Structure 1
C-alpha cells in the first residue's frame, strides 16, 4: 500500500490544488526536481562533459531502471526526448515497399496517424483502420480477418489519450505475429500507471514519455525494442552513439536498442527521468495501479451521478483517464471554471484522436487523470465544482 502522507509531502504542487492532469504533464516528486537542479548547477561549475562523466553510473542506471519497470533488459532500451520521437524512430525504421500494409486502430493518436500517412505516401504502402468492437477495444475478429503477409506493422495504442479504454495488446500481438507483422505499442498513457511486462505483451517495440504517469521531466522518453526484432529495423538517423564509423566508406549499427540513440541529450532531464522511475519502483507499480484505478473509478462514479454530465470512457478494463462532457457547456469552459477553483483538468480535442471522436460525434471532452498522490477530498472538490455548473 502506498504511504499517501509521504507521497503528498513529496509532491509540493499538490498542496495548493486538486491536480487531475497526470495524463498531460504530471507533478514531479521532489527528488526529480532536486536531481535536475543539482546537475544543472554542477554543469555551471565544471562544464557539461565533466559533469556528465561524474554521473556516468547514474546515467547507465536510467536505462536499467526503465528496463526493470517494463520487464526488459537494459540493452533493449533506447532513451530519447519524447514518446513521439521513440515511436517515430521505430516506425520509420521498418522497411516498407509498394503494396505493403500499415494497420492502425480507431483510437490512434494524431501524431502516429500523420506519420503513418506520410510514410505510406512516400513508399506506396497503405494505411488501414482496424475496427473497434462494441466496447471500443480493437475488434480481434475483424483484425484477424484483415491480416495477411503484406501487413508489415501494426500500431496499437495501449491507453488512448481521450478516454479510459485499455486495449487487449497480447491478443493483438499473437495474431499479428502469425503473419510476420511487427507490433509497435504506444504506451505513452500506460507506462507509470499500469503494470507492463513486455515479455507478456510480446510487442516488438514500445514507446513512452517521462512527463505523464512516470512523473518525470518534459523532454524525456524511451523506446523498447525486442531483441528478435532489432535486425529487421533500419534507423533513418544515426550518429557516433548509435553506430560506429568502421572505415572510410563503412559503418556498423549498434547491435541492440542503442542504434536508436543519439549522442547529444539533456543530461539533467535524463537523470530526472531515472529518479522518477526509481521513485515509482520504490512505491511498487502494482500498488500505484491499484491507487490510480480506485481514484479514477471514484471520480467516474461521482460524475456519473450528476444529471447533465456524461462520462465518455469506453472499454471493460479502464485506465486512470476519466473523460466527460457537461450539457450546456463547452469542455474548455468546464476546464476554465475548474481552474478558477484550483482544480486542474484539461481538454482532449477531436484533432488528437479524430477517428474515434468523430465516430462518436464528439468535438472535445473534459479529461481528468488523478494519480496516486491525489486525495479523495480533491476528487470530491472536482465533483462538487462540476455539480455546481448544472444546478
Structure 2
C-alpha cells in the first residue's frame, strides 16, 4: 500500500463551516451525496452560470460575435491556470480534455526507433494505449519501472534505468483508483539531472493536491477540468515548459497553432499555443476559468490539507 505524504502543517484544512459554505453554492449537493469526483465533480452555480451565460449570448448574437465579446475573459483563463500550477501564459495550451492534452504533449516529444520511454506500473489506460502505439509507429521500447515497498514508483530504480537512449519519462501522478500518489518531484529531480523530458499526467491530482510545476520539475503536464477542479467536461489543458518548447513538434498543428506563411511553408507558434486548435468550446473554457479561480481563491495547499485530514479521520 502506498505511503501517504503528510499534508503541510503550515496550511490549515477547511473548517466545517467553510465546507458547508462551498456546498451551499453547489446546486447538486442539495440533492445527492456525490462521491464520483475521480470521474466528474459537481460544479458551483457560478461555474454553471459562466457556461450558460455564454451559450445564451451565442444564441442571441452568434458564436463568433460572442467569442469576440468574451475575448478578454477567455485570455484571463490562462492567467488563472498559471496561478494554479505556477506557470506562465506562454506555457499553457487549452485542449478538449486531459487525454487530448497528454497526447499532444506525448507525441510532440522527439522519439527514434530503439529509444526508451520510461514509465511506471500505475499508468492510465489511454496513456498505455499511447505507449503501445508509439511502439508500432516509432519503434520505441517501453521500459516499466517497478514499485517500491510503498507501491509507488521506485525512484532509485528509475534513476538506474536512465541513460542516453531514454527519449521520455512519463508518469501518472495519481492513478484513477487505489489512493496512490507517486513521488512526482523526486522523479523530476532524476529527469532534470539527466536532461530527459518529463511528462506528468496530473489528471487526478490537479485540484485536490497542490501542484507547482517548478517544484515538480516536469517539462510537460496534462490536466482536466471536470474532476477535482469541479469544472466542465470537455475541457483540459497542457503545460509545456518554455525551456523545452522549441524541441516539441505537435503531431497535428492547424492554422491557429502555426502561421501558414507561404503556400509551401508554415511556422509553429513560439509558445504552447502551437498545441491548440482554432475551434473549441468557448462556454466550457470560460466555465473552466471560473472553476480554477475558485480553487485558487480557496488555496490548493488548504484543499490538499483538507483531503489528507479527511483521509486520516
- TM norm structure 2: 0.93
**2:192/2:217 contact within 8 Å kept:** no
Q: CA deviation at 1:5?
A: 2.9
In structure 2, stretches of 5+ residues that fail to align are 1-13
Partner SS, residue 98 of structure 1: coil
Instruction: Return structure 1 stretches of 4+ with deviation > 4 angstroms.
Output: none
Q: CA deviation at 1:4?
A: 2.2
Note if 1:80 corresponds to 2:95. yes
**1:28/1:215 contact within 8 Å kept:** yes
The residue aligned with 1:313 is none
Note if 1:54 corresponds to 2:58. no
After superposition, the C-alpha distances for 1:49-79 in whole angstroms (9 at most, x for unaligned) are 0001111010001111001100010111001
Q: CA deviation at 1:11?
A: 0.9
Note if 1:197 corresponds to 2:212. yes
**Counterparts of 1:232 and 1:173, CA distance in 2:** 18
**Counterparts of 2:118 and 2:193, CA distance in 1:** 15
The residue aligned with 2:222 is 207
The residue aligned with 1:342 is none
Q: 1:172 aligns with which of 181, 187, 203?
A: 187
Structure with greater Cα Rg: 1
**2:102/2:221 contact within 8 Å kept:** yes
The residue aligned with 2:107 is 92
Q: 1:159 aligns with which of 159, 174, 198?
A: 174
The residue aligned with 1:238 is 253
Q: CA deviation at 1:297?
A: 2.6
How do 1:362-381 residues align onto structure 2 when only pairs under 5 Å count? Answer: none
Q: CA deviation at 1:232?
A: 1.1
Instruction: Using CA pairs under 8 Å that are at least 6 residues apart, name the structure with larger relative contact order, 1 or 2.
Output: 2
Q: 1:40 aligns with which of 55, 60, 64?
A: 55
Q: CA deviation at 1:222?
A: 0.2
Note if 1:227 corresponds to 2:242. yes
Q: 2:85 aligns with which of 70, 80, 99?
A: 70
In structure 1, stretches of 5+ residues that fail to align are 299-391
**Counterparts of 1:175 and 1:36, CA distance in 2:** 41
**Counterparts of 1:192 and 1:8, CA distance in 2:** 16
Partner SS, residue 189 of structure 1: coil
Note if 1:185 corresponds to 2:227. no
After superposition, the C-alpha distances for 1:213-232 in whole angstroms (9 at most, x for unaligned) are 00000000000001011011
Partner SS, residue 277 of structure 1: helix
How do 1:208-357 residues align onto structure 2 when only pairs under 5 Å count? Answer: 208-298=223-313
**Counterparts of 1:81 and 1:98, CA distance in 2:** 30
**Counterparts of 2:240 and 2:184, CA distance in 1:** 16
Q: 1:148 aligns with which of 163, 187, 190?
A: 163
Q: CA deviation at 1:177?
A: 2.7
**Counterparts of 1:137 and 1:242, CA distance in 2:** 37
**Counterparts of 1:4 and 1:25, CA distance in 2:** 19
How do 1:124-143 residues align onto structure 2 when only pairs under 5 Å count? Answer: 124-143=139-158
Partner SS, residue 171 of structure 2: strand
**Counterparts of 2:266 and 2:99, CA distance in 1:** 27
